[in-house]
Amino acid sequence: MSFNDFTWQIKRPSATPPRGLFSYALRFLACILTMEVMLHYMYVVAIKDAGAWQGNTPAELSMIGLWNLIVVWLKLLIPWRFFRLWALADGIDPPENMVRCMANNYSTLGFWRSWHRSYNLWTVRYIYIPLGGSNNLIVATTLVFTFVALWHDLSFRLLAWGWLISLFILPEIIGRKLLPAAKYGDMSWYRHVCALGAVLNILLMLIANLVGFVDTTKLMLRLTD
């Protein structure tokens, strides 16, 4: 949250209703339980860390990569929700960082608006808009994700992740310009085109995040040759 928002809420605390706070606490506990069940019964993280890939089919390797990404999503979601719950109990209402599950986003742009949302708002406010925003879309997007990659760590793997993300955003932007919903939304075929685009977006986002944060993509490609 911005400093101005924080100081405003310090002076005028927002009282979250007890029922809403209790409901949010239950959702937080459900996230912890989900993580515990996954780590107890699904050994995808251990397989990745130990490099125990021998004998796995390409489909199994793909699922290992996917579930590793879901674990990454959960391990970020849990601490952020804990601190937001603490802030809500203290009268401060910060933005929710992980709005939707990473496997529940059919839009590339929507994916990044829902992942680490407070950081997304910061990069939009201080980097994307000063660089020209939608009027300078390709350059602004590439520089934003280059900055985000370097913010995570100084490594070529993360730079490749940032550049892949910038590249994979383009199909959705081009599709929206060629087939705007305002013009073709009532056509019977439009929903099927959107469904195909959604599948492409999800696959592209999975590939980029596997390259950046799971590092199993090279092995998968080698085993599927």
Nearest by Cα to 214 from 117, 28, 75, 105: 75
Give buried/exposed letters for 178-193 (b at 16+ CB in 10 A, else e): ebeeeeeeeeeeeeee
Q: Which of 40, 116, 152, 192 is catalytic?
A: 152
Is the distance from CB of 139 to CB of 118 less than 8 angstroms?
A: no
With 0-12 / 13-18 / 19 or more C-beta atoms within 10 angstroms meaning exposed / middle / buried, residue 72 is: middle
Q: Is 152 a catalytic residue?
A: yes
CA distances from 170 to 117, 145, 149, 174 (A): 21, 14, 18, 6
Residues tagged active-site: 152
